[in-house]
Structure 1
């Protein structure tokens, strides 16, 4: 499968990955943020647990060459370069990765919820 199109739904905070065969996979902004390929998240051999991102949103998607995109999140994170192959891997392994993430949060007594309550005005 070849990734053809990305489409972000702002209200639902979901990124559609649309493939050449017409199939669509959806990844949440939260999932993408906590699985950022950045050194900040991946660490230097020791990945960092990213918590409190349930309400994170993507502010912008910038193409990088013909091989990936840079996602800018509303929490200020913008250093991850998402290669198309990495996005495909995330889509294929989404269930397993998500369950592992939830288990890590529980083990660390951490939460997906924001540290402070915020409200978006229309």
Structure 2
């Protein structure tokens, strides 16, 4: 699995240099909209009933203000609107980048 070698905030983008030499760039607004958190995506109970996930789908002007590594498999971003509960696996980030 690819892992981030370097992560930088460049303007309104998050730049990730992967250990294979490739790079990915993400706009904060798009990362926020793609948050895999229960707040954004909702969650299902054991019977398949959906709860939550009915909030806004666009986040104009939202930027990434920080991040933290989660184990050896994911990143958690801190957004300017206070959201920080989504855990973005490296695999998910690569999907978002179209790789």
Question: TM-score per shorter chain, which class?
Answer: 0.7 to 0.9
Whether 1:89 and 2:95 are equivalent positions in the alignment is: yes
Bigger helix fraction? 1
1:70-89 to 2 correspondence within 5 Å?
Answer: 70-89=76-95
Distance across 1 between alignment mates of 2:29 and 2:82: 13
Consecutive unaligned residues of structure 2, counting only runs of 5 or more, are: 45-49
- Higher relative contact order (Cα pairs below 8 Å, separated by 6+ residues): 2
**Structure 2 match to 1:24:** 23
Bigger strand fraction? 2
- Give TM-score scaled by structure 2 length: 0.78
Deviations 1:39-76 (A, max 9, x none): 1111136654422x221111210111111111111101
- Number of positions where the alignment pairs a residue of Structure 1 with one of Structure 2: 90
SS at match of 1:6: strand
**Structure 2 match to 1:2:** 2
Consecutive unaligned residues of structure 1, counting only runs of 5 or more, are: 94-122
